[in-house]
Structure 1
């Protein structure tokens, strides 16, 4: 992978530092999962730059509390809250149907990690259904409004955990193989990157840039609630691991806001970033970089077809 995109920012940069001097008045943004963790800080940095933000959240009351905090801390009163449950395709469809104006920024931030074996009413494995299929349906449903913006950006929050699992197209929902929460999580995060690869290709003519990212290992967020003690978790989730550096939420949101609003990445699409830089190839034993299978254009196209069929079936 040659000619990697670089920026002056790095692993310890904060979202506020990345957005310093950037002005986004008149731009509309949606941030999913913006009631906690890096979603809040992503929304805060974009709001401070003047964008109008819709917090797309499962818990509307929690979203309202965040909105009040963002208004108070940024002085931007253009903070809206809307209900969105990514595990429920009816909720995703309702959110998309209610949107009726050009959309400049979509940050697919929400996610769940290492859950027990749980399924949606349709039998979909919950992590794949939430992290990938929910966001897939959301982005596809909002595509006309992203295209209407003329220069929209879609930001897909993946994870270094994608290096733990490629997609098993023959058993995406763990109906035949034994369920493994980390394999399921890794698969969903690989799907996030593959979505960015294919969406970038399909939507380039609409002026829509689509990029994925690893936010880093972040302590103190709701995402780790199912991980519990480190136990069987990959080394990247062990706060005592010597090869892991941890970030606070302000640092964790930095790469998201870089891709969402910074002019430094104008025209960049179909890439995977970490620590505010485009990531190089993953090397075995190192918790960095992007796995080759996550950038495979054939797998990306196949996943798009499979996802489209699943969403269509859910709508019948």
Structure 2
């Protein structure tokens, strides 16, 4: 079954600046996690350029402050305010502190931060596998904690940055933390990215009556980011040589942020919720991973999987 598409001129080569052109976000407030590098910076830039007051939610506040200062110097005087908040998604205490400190409505939450494919198994202080803990559980706790602020905005949007990597693995509910199977960096990354999509599906259903929409996306094969900072060069070489999954053409950082900005702010997707996007369009389901360069796995959109993950996540972050 084909997916109905929204009507706009945007596509794979569109930049975040092109998506935001003509959009007015004055009076709106946004949070972008992981906004000290890569597409997080470009997402924050685009939203602020349209007038939104943007909080850069980052682990390294010094790096965040440097980015905020640079953006303020580059953006016009009509842009929104840029502030920095400390947020380490692997540390529940900083997530709780960020939520506690937040005041007032929140119109846009872009769950952008992430970690990809550490070669060795790493656990957080509370015993969780790091990719699942950071990419999903940290964002889950943050978003649920900010639910009342999102509701107060009367039309808030949640954006979850996933990946084509979700095709590597569904969420393995019976062994999230690799205690009964050998650790593999790519299936671990895959299940965390599947979780990002399932979270959007569940939030869309649970919070529809609160006026909140939630969608997930694949930014693209983006060069020049720090996402692969935990990977050694040989691991990258071996991955590309394996042919295990085909990569789409590489994008610039500005192009990589475009779909995040579309879902966060464009009127062309008003009211759309619980979907997965790539190249500024809704993705078609795929039947298998072999040869796939686009598309979404049915298990990542499954409502039963989404409800199960939500219930389990509530238990794990409690």
Please give the per-residue CA displacement for 1:247-282, whole angstroms capped at 9, x wherever unaligned.
Answer: 010000000000000000000000000000000012
What is residue 14 of structure 2 aligned with on the other side? 13
Counterpart among 296, 304, 310 of residue 304 in structure 1: 310
Question: Could you list the runs of 5+ residues in structure 2 that have no partner in the other structure?
Answer: none
Within-5 A mapping of 1:209-224: 209-224=213-228
CA RMSD of aligned residues (A): 1.7
Give TM-score, length-normalised by structure 2.
Answer: 0.94
Please give the per-residue CA displacement for 1:263-304, whole angstroms capped at 9, x wherever unaligned.
Answer: 000000000000000000125321210000000100000000
TM-superposed CA distance for 1:244, in Å, is 2.7
Question: Does residue 121 of the first structure (1) align with residue 125 of the second (2)?
Answer: yes
Q: Distance in 2 between matches of 1:214 and 1:235?
A: 22
What is residue 87 of structure 1 aligned with on the other side? 90
Q: Distance in 2 between matches of 1:183 and 1:128?
A: 11
For the residue of structure 2 that corresponds to 1:102, the secondary structure is coil
TM-superposed CA distance for 1:243, in Å, is 5.6
Question: Does residue 286 of the first structure (1) align with residue 292 of the second (2)?
Answer: yes
What is residue 60 of structure 1 aligned with on the other side? 61
TM-superposed CA distance for 1:226, in Å, is 2.4
What is residue 114 of structure 2 aligned with on the other side? 111
What is residue 28 of structure 1 aligned with on the other side? 29
Give TM-score, length-normalised by structure 1.
Answer: 0.95
For the residue of structure 2 that corresponds to 1:124, the secondary structure is coil
Residue-pair matches, total = 310
- Segment drifting more, 224-233 vs 24-33: 224-233
> Is residue 182–residue 233 contact of structure 1 (8 Å, CA) maintained in 2?
no
- Seen in structure 2, the aligned counterparts of structure 1 residues 114 and 243 have a Cα distance that, compared at 3 Å, is closer
- Seen in structure 2, the aligned counterparts of structure 1 residues 33 and 237 have a Cα distance that, compared at 3 Å, is farther
Within-5 A mapping of 1:42-191: 42-75=43-76, 76=79, 78-115=81-118, 116-191=120-195
Q: Distance in 1 between matches of 2:37 and 2:247?
A: 27
What is residue 206 of structure 1 aligned with on the other side? 210
Q: Distance in 1 between matches of 2:71 and 2:52?
A: 12
Question: Could you list the runs of 5+ residues in structure 1 that have no partner in the other structure?
Answer: none
TM-superposed CA distance for 1:227, in Å, is 3.0
What is residue 265 of structure 2 aligned with on the other side? 261
Q: Distance in 1 between matches of 2:247 and 2:158?
A: 31
Please give the per-residue CA displacement for 1:130-154, whole angstroms capped at 9, x wherever unaligned.
Answer: 0000000000000000000000000
For the residue of structure 1 that corresponds to 2:27, the secondary structure is coil
TM-superposed CA distance for 1:167, in Å, is 1.1
Question: Does residue 4 of the first structure (1) align with residue 7 of the second (2)?
Answer: no
Runs (4 or more) in structure 1 with deviation over 2 Å come to: 1-7, 226-238, 241-244
TM-superposed CA distance for 1:72, in Å, is 1.2
